[in-house]
Amino acid sequence: MISVRMRVNGSEVSVALEPQVSLLDLLRGRLGLTGTKRGCDQGACGACTVLADGERINSCLALAVQYEGRDITTIEGLARDGEAHPLQTAFVRNDGLQCGYCTSGQICSAVGMLAEHGAGAPSAVTEHLCSAAALTDAEIRERMSGNLCRCGAYNGIVGAIQEVVGKEAVR
Amino acid sequence: MTQTEVRTPPLRETTGSAVGAPIDRVDGTAKTTGAARFAAEHPYPDLAHAALAHSSVARGRITAIDTAAAAAVPGVLTVITHLNAPAMKPPPKISPFNLVSLATGTSVNYLNTDEVHWNGQPVAVVVAETRDAALHAASLVEVAYQRLEAVVDFAAEEGNAEPQKSNALQSGGARKGDARAALAAAPVSVDLRFSTPQHNHNALEPHATTAAWDGDRLTVHEATQGIAWTRGQLALRFGVPERNIRVLSPYVGGGFGGKGMVWAGTVLAVLAARVAGRPVRLELTREGVYRTVGGRTPSTQRVALGARADGRLTALVHTSVARVGRVGGGGEQITSQSRHLYDAENILLQQNLVTLDLLPNTMMRAPGEAIGTFALESAVDELAYKLGLDPIELRMRNEPTVNPLDGKRFAHRMLREAYELGAERFGWPERTPAPGSMRDGRWLVGMGVASAYHPSWQLAANVTVRLSADGGVLVRCAFQEMGMGSATVVAQIAADALGVPVAAVRVEYGDSLLPGGPAAGGSAQTASIAASLLPAAEKLKRSVLALARRSPESPLRGTRASGVLARDGGLYPADGRGAGESYPAILARAGRDSVEARVGSDTRVGAMVSQARTVGKVLNDRRRWVKAACGAHFCEVRVDPDTGEVRVTRWVGAFDVGRVINAKTAASQLRGGIVMGIGMALSEETLVDPRTGRVMNPSLAEYHVPVHADIPPIEVHYLDEPDPTMPLGLIGVGEVGITGVAAAVANAVHHATGRRVRDLPITLDKLL
C-alpha cells in the first residue's frame, strides 16, 4: 500500500492504495465519483477523460500514485458556485448526448481542449503553426477525436462547443 | 429506486403544443453533471467484484482446470468453474408463445457443463475484493481441453447454407412471377455479389451487472434493453418467482441491440453473488463484451436486376447467406426491404443460413435491413449507370403505389416526396453524373443516394397515469431509456393528452416494479407506449370529469366527456362556452389526493392478455397494410486519388417517419443511425480467425467506430405527415436512419472514382 494525497474537485484526498490502481478506479471505486466512465480501460474511447491541473488525460491509463499532489477535476467538479459549467448546459441545449455514457468524458475533454487551443497549441489540421488557428468545426472535430460517441451525437457536441466558444468571444 | 428527473422548462407556457416541440431531453442535466448512475455504479456495502475467464478453443470438452494460482491471488474470494458451480436451470427453449424465451442469448448452461461451444465461452468466474484482483486471477486460470472439430469459417461454409425458416414476426423468402426467366430475357441487367462482415455494437458502456441476493429475493442493476426479459430469464434460470426479482435499469449506456438478450455476464454475476454470499458486480471488459455478447451476422448477398430500356424493372432477385451459432442466434430479414421498395414485375427473394461453432449472432440496429439495403441500393445505382438514367429517376420510375409482392396498401408512403425534398436541400441537380467528373483541388468528389426503409412495429405496454392534487402528472411504465429520448417524448405525449405543461409531468421508467413496458427493440417503444398512454389519459380525464360532475358547484356539471377539452391544467368546455375548472380545484373539492388510471394489467393472465391483444393487432394490421418508415440519403464524399482515403464531407437525409414527437431528439436518433452506417461503410469489421473462430480485434483500438473527425454536419429533414394507422401518427425512428447509409457512401465513392466496392468496409486498399 502506498499513501497518496491529491486534490479532487477542490477537496484534499488522502488514500492508501496499491500501486497498480488506476486514477479511474480511485475516482469511481474509492471516491464514489462515478461520473467518470469506463469504456475500454485502454485509452481508446475517452469516456474516462478528467482534468489534471487543467490538462485532459485518460484516467484509465493513469496510475493514481503518479498524481500525488496534483489537482484533479471530474465532471462532478465543473460547476462553480452551484452554477453548471457553460458546456454542461450547452450540451443539453444542443442535444450533444444520447445515452450519456461518453458525455462526462466529452465535456471534460472539451474543457481541456479549449484551454489547449487558448494556449496556442496547434492540431493536425491547423494550417499555419505560427498563428493562432480559428476554432473551426474542423478544428473541434480533430481535437475531440479521442472521445468516441457510439450514439453518434457528434454534430450536437460540436454545436455545443461552438456555442460556448461564441459566447466567450462575445464576453 | 425509480427515476426522478431534473426537467428543463418547457418552450411554451401554453399547453397542448408539446408534441412536435424540439424540447431538451428531460434527463440531460443528470447526464451532463455525472449524476446519472449506470448499472456498475450503484454502491453496496460489502460489494465483491467478478471477472470471467474465457475458453481459448472453439469446440471441445474441458478435461482439467487448475484454479490454484487464481485462488492464491490476494483478495480472491472464490473461483467458480463447472466443477463447483451450483446447478442452474438450462435456458428456456425459444418459443413464440413465451416472449421471454426470445431473450435467450445462447442455449449454453454456463458453468454447468464441461462442453465448449465457441472460442470465448466463459469457463470460470473469479470473485474478489477488487476488480483488479478478479481480472488478474481470471488470467491465471489454466484450462486443458479435448479439442473437437469446429466449423468456424463463414466464407468456406457459404455453400452449405440452408433455407431460413420464416415466422410470424419475421419475413422470409418470397416469389412473384418468374424472376429468373425475366432476368434472362431483360434487355438491361446487373447480377452482383456483395459481402458484409460481422459488426459489433460497441455501446460505450460495457455490459455490467450488479447483483444482490437477500434470501431468495434478488435485486439486479443491469445494462439492458429489456427489463422484463431479464427478470423472466433470471427467474427461470435460478428457480425463483418473478415477483422475487427486481431489475433496475434507468440509465443504459447505449444498446443498439447488444443489450436485448440475456448474455453470460448477467447470469454469471447473479450466480457469483449467490456463491459468494455477497453483492457482486461484474463489469465486462471491452474484450469480454466481444467474447460473450453476439454481434451482427456477416452476409453474402446476390442482387440481380432486370429492366426494360426505360428503366422499368422486370426482375428483382435478392438472396442472402448469413450465419447463426450452433447454440443460438436467429436469421435476419436481409431481403425485407426488397419486398417493398420497387415495383418489379417478377420478384424472387431467398434467405439462407449456415450454422457455425461461433458465439451466436444477435440483433444489431436494423437487423436485416441495415445490410440488405447496402446490396439492393448499390445494385440499383449500378443499374442506373447501365441504363444511363439518374439514380433517383430510376427509383421514381419504379416507385410502387401498392406493395409489389401482394398488392397490399401502404399505410403511409412518402418516399417520392423524401427524394424531392432531399434533392433540393442537397443540391443534387448540380451533380454531373460521369464518374470522376467532379473535383475539389486534388480531391475527387462523389455524390450518391440510397433509400432508407424500416418496418414499423408495436409491442404491449402497461401504463398508469396519476394526477395529483397539485396538478402534477406521473406516468409509470417499465420502458427503457438508452438515449433515444423515450422519457422526453413520453412526457410530451402525456402533457398534451392531459392539457398540462411538460414541466408538470414526471415519468418513471427503468424499474421492473413499474407496470410492464415494452423492450427497446424494433423501433417500437414510443408507438407502443403511446398506444396505451393515450387511452390511459382518456380514462383519467373521464374519472376527473366524473368527480367534477358530482359537485353542484362545478361549472362542468352536466358536461359530457365528449364536450370537454383538457387544457391549461384542467378541463374546459370544448366549444369554448362557459367556464371550466383546473385539476387542483376539481380534486380539492372532491377531497382527493390523486386520481389514477391504468391500461393493461401485470398479473400473469393480464400480461398474457395484453401481449396476445397487441400481437393480434399487429398481425391483423399486417394483413391489411404495409407499415414502415422510409427516407432518402444524400451523401458527398471526397476521395484522395493517391491514397484512396475516403472522407464523408456532407450528408442530407430526408425521412418519412410519420409525426415527429420531438424534432430535436428524433434528429439525434436519425443522425446516430447515419453515423453508425458511415462506420459500417468505411471502417467497421469484426475479424474472426478462420482457423480458431477467435475474434481477433476485440477492442475499440482495433475495431474502428467513427470518431468526431469522420462525421460531417448531417442535415435531417422530416416530411412530418402522420401515419393514420399509428398512435398519434408516429413511426419509430431508431433504426431507419442506418438503413441505406452504406449504399449511399458506396455509390458516392463510385461516382468519385469509378470503382464499385461491393465488399464492406470500403477501406483504402479496395480503392488502390
pLDDT in tens, B54-88: 999 999 999 999 999 999 999 999 999 999 999 99
pLDDT digit string, tens, across residues A1-45:
999 999 999 999 999 999 999 999 999 999 999 999 999 999 999
Chain B contact set for A34 (CB, 8 A)? 34, 37-38, 41
Domains located in chain B, CATH noted: 10-33+459-473+485-622 (3.30.365.10)
Q: Tell me the mean pLDDT in the region B283-312.
A: 98
Place A169 in a pLDDT band, splitting at 50, 70 and 90: low
Answer whether residue B8 shows pLDDT above 50: no
For A154, the closest chain B residue by CA position comes to B708
Task: Output B456 or B245, whichever has higher pLDDT.
Answer: B245
Give the list of residues 6+ apart from residue B108 with CB closer than 8 angstroms, or none: B91, B115, B117, B121, B264, B327, B328
Place B169 in a pLDDT band, splitting at 50, 70 and 90: low
pLDDT of residue A18: 94
Look at A84-93, A130-139, B713-722 and tell me which has the smallest mean pLDDT.
A130-139
Place of cell 466463459: B122
pLDDT of residue B621: 83
Report d(CA A131, CA B94) in Å as an integer: 64
Strand partners, B127: B50, B78
DSSP, collapsed to helix, strand or coil, labels residue B508 as: strand
pLDDT digit string, tens, across residues B643-652:
999 999 999 9
pLDDT of residue A128: 84
Q: Which three cell numbers stand for residue B718?
A: 422530416
Q: How many residues in total does chain B contain?
A: 768
Report d(CA B598, CA A10) in Å as an integer: 48
Domains located in chain A, CATH noted: 2-77 (3.10.20.30), 86-170 (1.10.150.120)
Distances (CA, A) of B553 to B351, B396, B484, B558, B666: 68, 63, 45, 11, 45
What would you report as the CA-atom Rg of chain B, rounded to the nearest whole angstrom? 27
Taking alpha carbons only, the member of B684, B79, B131, B489 closest to residue A29 is B131
A to B CB pairs, distance under 8 Å: 177
Residue A50, Cβ density class (10 Å: 0-12 exposed, 13-18 middle, ≥19 buried): buried
Give the list of residues 6+ apart from residue A83 with CB closer than 8 angstroms, or none: none
Closest CA–CA distance from residue B648 to any residue of chain A (Å): 13
C-beta atoms of A152 and B675 within 8 A: yes
Answer whether residue B15 shows pLDDT above 90: no
Q: How many CB atoms lie within 10 A of CB B388?
A: 11
pLDDT of residue B14: 67
Strands laid side by side in the A49-52 sheet = A11-17, A2-8, A71-73, A49-52, A55-58
pLDDT of residue B464: 97
Answer whether residue B9 shows pLDDT above 70: no
Which residues of B are the active-site residues? 735
Taking alpha carbons only, the member of B753, B760, B768, B767 closest to residue B193 is B760
Report d(CA B657, CA B622) in Å as an integer: 18
Contact A98, B668 (CB under 8 A): yes
Report d(CA B596, CA B733) in Å as an integer: 30
Answer whether residue B528 shows pLDDT above 70: yes
Q: Which three cell numbers stand for residue B505?
A: 409531468
Place B6 in a pLDDT band, splitting at 50, 70 and 90: very low
C-beta atoms of A97 and B32 within 8 A: yes
C-beta atoms of A141 and B708 within 8 A: yes
Report d(CA B180, CA B371) in Å as an integer: 23
pLDDT digit string, tens, across residues B23-59:
999 999 999 999 999 999 999 999 999 999 999 999 9
Answer whether residue A156 shows pLDDT above 60: yes
Answer whether residue A80 shows pLDDT above 70: yes
Residue from A31, A36, A76, A154 to probe the interface with B (highest B Cβ count within 10 Å):
A154
Strand partners, A7: A12, A71
Look at B347-356, B378-387, B512-521, B662-671 and tell me which has the smallest mean pLDDT.
B512-521
Report d(CA B691, CA B156) in Å as an integer: 11
Closest CA–CA distance from residue B275 to any residue of chain A (Å): 23
pLDDT digit string, tens, across residues B420-479:
999 999 999 999 999 999 999 999 999 999 999 999 988 889 999 999 999 999 999 999
Give the pairing type, strands A71-73 and A2-8.
Answer: parallel
Chain B contact set for A18 (CB, 8 A)? 132
- Largest separation between any pair of C-alpha atoms in chain A: 50
Place B11 in a pLDDT band, splitting at 50, 70 and 90: very low
What would you report as the CA-atom Rg of chain A, rounded to the nearest whole angstrom? 16
What percent of chain B lies above the pLDDT cut of 90? 88
Taking alpha carbons only, the member of B671, B696, B744 closest to residue B119 is B696
Closest CA–CA distance from residue A3 to any residue of chain B (Å): 18
Answer whether residue B610 shows pLDDT above 90: no
Tell me phi and psi for residue B515, to 5 degrees.
-55, 140
Contact A107, A85 (CB under 8 A): yes
The three-state DSSP-derived secondary structure of B462-473 is CEEEEEECCCCE
pLDDT digit string, tens, across residues B730-744:
999 999 999 999 999
Place of cell 464492406: B760
C-beta atoms of B254 and A99 within 8 A: yes
Distances (CA, A) of A74 to A27, A56, B416, B553, B632: 9, 10, 49, 58, 42
Answer whether residue A50 shows pLDDT above 70: yes
pLDDT digit string, tens, across residues B547-584:
999 988 899 988 888 899 999 999 999 988 888 999 99
pLDDT of residue B5: 39
Contact B515, B478 (CB under 8 A): yes
CB environment B48-77: b (16+ within 10 A), e (fewer)? bbbbbbbbebbbbebeebebeebeebebbb
Task: Output B185 or B624, whichever has higher pLDDT.
Answer: B185
Place of cell 462525421: B711
Q: Which three cell numbers stand for residue B301?
A: 448477398
Residue from A150, A157, A163, A164 to probe the interface with B (highest B Cβ count within 10 Å):
A150
Answer whether residue B12 shows pLDDT above 60: no
Place B617 in a pLDDT band, splitting at 50, 70 and 90: confident
Answer whether residue B120 shows pLDDT above 90: yes
C-beta atoms of B484 and A103 within 8 A: no
pLDDT digit string, tens, across residues B416-431:
999 999 999 999 999 9
C-beta atoms of A99 and B251 within 8 A: yes
Q: How many CB atoms lie within 10 A of CB B94?
A: 13
pLDDT of residue B7: 41
What percent of chain B lies above the pLDDT cut of 70? 98
pLDDT of residue A127: 87
Give the list of residues 6+ apart from residue B642 with CB closer than 8 angstroms, or none: none
Q: How many CB atoms lie within 10 A of CB B345?
A: 18
DSSP, collapsed to helix, strand or coil, labels residue B609 as: helix
For A28, the closest chain B residue by CA position comes to B41
Answer whether residue B271 shows pLDDT above 80: yes
Place B168 in a pLDDT band, splitting at 50, 70 and 90: low
pLDDT of residue B458: 86
C-beta atoms of B251 and A100 within 8 A: yes
Report d(CA B741, CA B755) in Å as an integer: 18
